[in-house]
Amino acid sequence: MQIPTVKISLVGSGRVGKSTIRSMLEGTPAPNGATIGVDVGKFVDEDLKAAIFDLGGQARFQMMWDQFMRGSKLVMLVTDSSREDVDRAKRIADNLQRMKGAKIIAIANKQDEANKLNAMQVEKILGLKTYPMVATEAIRRNAMVSIIKENLLD
């Protein structure tokens, strides 16, 4: 049976861990610099084939986001779970409401660091279903895959 390819976008401020999540899903080494524009990766297993649009989070790339995200089935808004970044993510979330046909969820990344908000706190602020993550820990890959499938295959 053919599995159609779905588009997933990773969006959020600079350095929050979007590319680390993409490389975790791809099983490739994490990149060591900021994403310039967009990087496209892929995730394939027996019941999901996805193109992962990993957007550059720096301010100078943000005006391209609408075009890069177009046609996404799932948009994951990534935050580093600091109060300041969650406030930034709230403004991004408000803009994402205009996205048609996409499911929007949030990832509360960097849960290994001190003084971070937990996923429930982030969820309350953003008003989006939010999942905790530590993208630098390979052992979390299965959890990341489950998050995606849970939100795509329903």
Ligand X SMILES: Nc1nc2c(ncn2[C@@H]2O[C@H](COP(=O)(O)OP(=O)(O)OP(=O)(O)O)[C@@H](O)[C@H]2O)c(=O)[nH]1
Q: Is 134 helix (H, G, I), strand (E, B) or coil?
A: coil
Residue pair 89/17 in contact by the 8 Å Cβ criterion: no
Which parts of 36-75 interact with ligand X (CB under 6 A)? 56-58
* Closest CA relative to residue 39, chosen from 25, 51, 49: 51
Q: Is 101 helix (H, G, I), strand (E, B) or coil?
A: coil
Q: What is the DSSP track for 58-78?
A: SGGGGGGHHHHHTT-SEEEEE
Q: Is 109 in the site for Mg ion (CB under 5 A)?
A: no
Q: Is 79 helix (H, G, I), strand (E, B) or coil?
A: strand
Which one among 11, 18, 41, 69 touches ligand X, defined by CB under 6 A?
Answer: 18
Name the residue nearer to Mg ion (CB basis): 55 or 105. Answer: 55
**Least distance (Å) from ligand X to the CB of residue 21?**
7
Which parts of 10-69 interact with Mg ion (CB under 5 A)? 18-19, 35
Q: Is 20 in the site for ligand X (CB under 6 A)?
A: yes
Name the residue nearer to ligand X (CB basis): 15 or 49. Answer: 15
Residues interacting with ligand X, by CB under 6 A?
14-20, 30-31, 34-35, 56-58, 109-110, 112-113, 134-136
